[in-house]
Structure 1
Amino acid sequence: MQNSADPARIVIGDDHPLYREGLAQLAASMFPSASVESFGTLQEVFDHALCGEAPQLFLLDIMFPGMEISISLPELRRRFPFASILLVSMLDDPAIVSLALRSGADGFVNKAADRERCIRSIRAVLDGEYVIEEGQSSPTSFQLPAGSQLTLTARQRAVLDLLEGGASNKVIARELDISHLTVRLHVSSLLRLLGVTRRQDVIGKARLLGLAAMQDQPRQRLRNGSPDSAQ
C-alpha cells in the first residue's frame, strides 16, 4: 500500500547510463507504485517533467549536460516549488555543493555513499529535511553569510511554533489545515533559511537568532486558520 506522502512521479537526470539505471532501480524498489523516468540531459528532464503530473522528486547529477547550477536549479525550483530536489555526484567541492543548495536543491549525496545512506537521504528530503551526505563523512551543514537577516512569513512562524512543540509533519498539516506537501515545503525552507540539515536542529538555531519563542513563553497553536493564509 502506497503511503500518501510517497512520490507518485520521480524524475532522474544523469548522463552516466549505469548510474542512471541504478538510481532508477533504487527509486522503483523504494516506491513500487511510482512512475520513474530517467534522462541524460537537463533539457530532457525539463521537457518531460513539464508534461503531465508534476514530479514530486528529482534525483539529478549536479554536473550533467545542460546543468548551470545558479540558473538551472532556481528555474527548476520555480517551476516545481513543491518537489524535492536531491543532487548526486562524485564531485563534492564544498563551494559548489553550497551554491547548489542555496540555488534551490534540498540535498546532496555523494555517489560514493552506500545504498542505505542514499535511501535515508531520499526519505529525508521527501519529509522536508535538508540533507548533505559527503561520501563516508558525517552529514554537514552550511552557514548563512555574516550579517544575513532572516524574515519569516506568518505561515513559516506557525510551522516553527509547531516544530518547537515537537509536532510531526502530519500533525502540522492537521493543525494548520494544509497539505502534507505544503508542510514539507515550509519545513525545507526553514532548514534552508537557518542553515541546518536536520529538523531537530531548527529550534536551537532559531532561538539563537531570536526567531523561536522562549520556553517560558506561551505558544500559539493554530488549527483551521492562521494569521496568514498564504501557502
Structure 2
Amino acid sequence: MMPNNSQDALEYFKNKIDICFADNSQFVVDRIESDAVLILTWTQYLEANRSNHFADNLIRSVRSEVIEAAGYLSIGLVRPALYALRLQIESMLAWVYFNDHKVEWLHTINTDHDFPMRAQNLKYLSTFSARYSARFKLLEEARTRKVKEPYALLCTHVHATCIPAMPSYADFGALVNSKSEISDCIDLVAAVSEYLSDVLSAWYADAWHDFPPVIKSRIEARLGQSDLKKFCV
C-alpha cells in the first residue's frame, strides 16, 4: 500500500530498507569483500611499503569508501553508493600524487585549495613515468571489467547527464533499489577495483617482484607471457 502522509511515507521507507537489508545484506557484503579485494590489498600494501606517511588519510578514505558503498548497497541505496565509488577513484589517485608532494599536501589541507583533480593526477602519472602509459595500455587491453573507464560512467550518474541517470522518485520507498540493480552496482565495485589496480600496477611496476601475491596472480592470469614480459620491463 502506498503511503498517504509523511509519517506513513517514512514508515514505508523504513520497512523497505528493513526488507532489503534482511534479503540482501549478506549477499552484498560477501560480493564486495570478493570484488573489492584488489583495491583493499593495494591500500594495505601502499600504506605499509610505499607511503611517505603524510597523506595516508586518503588511503584510509579509500577503504572507508568501500565500506560506505557496502553499507549503502546493503539497504538498497544505489545512488549514494555510486558517489562513494567515484570518490574512491579520486581519493586513490590523489594519494599517489600527494605521496610524492608533501609541500602541496600541506598547502591543500591548510588552505582547502588546489586539490588536484583526477585528470591532473593521471597526467602526472603519464608524464613522470616513461613506462606508465604503455604498461597501463597492456592491462587495459586485457581487462576483465565490462566498463573500460568506470569513472566516466560514475560521473554520468553523479551529474545525471543522461535521462536514465536522472533521479525520478515518487516516494521514499522508491529510493530502495531492487536486487538486480544492487548487483549491477556491485559489478561497478569490481570494475573500480580492477581499474585502480591497473593504474597502481602500471605506476609501481618497477617493484613487480614486491607486489602482493593476489595482485600478481590476477595480472599473470590476464596477460600472456609475452605481454607480462613487456609489462615488467
Range of TM-score over shorter length: under 0.3
More strand by share: 1
More helix by share: 2
TM-score, L = length of structure 1? 0.26
- Where relative contact order (Cα < 8 A, 6+ residues apart) is larger, the structure is 2
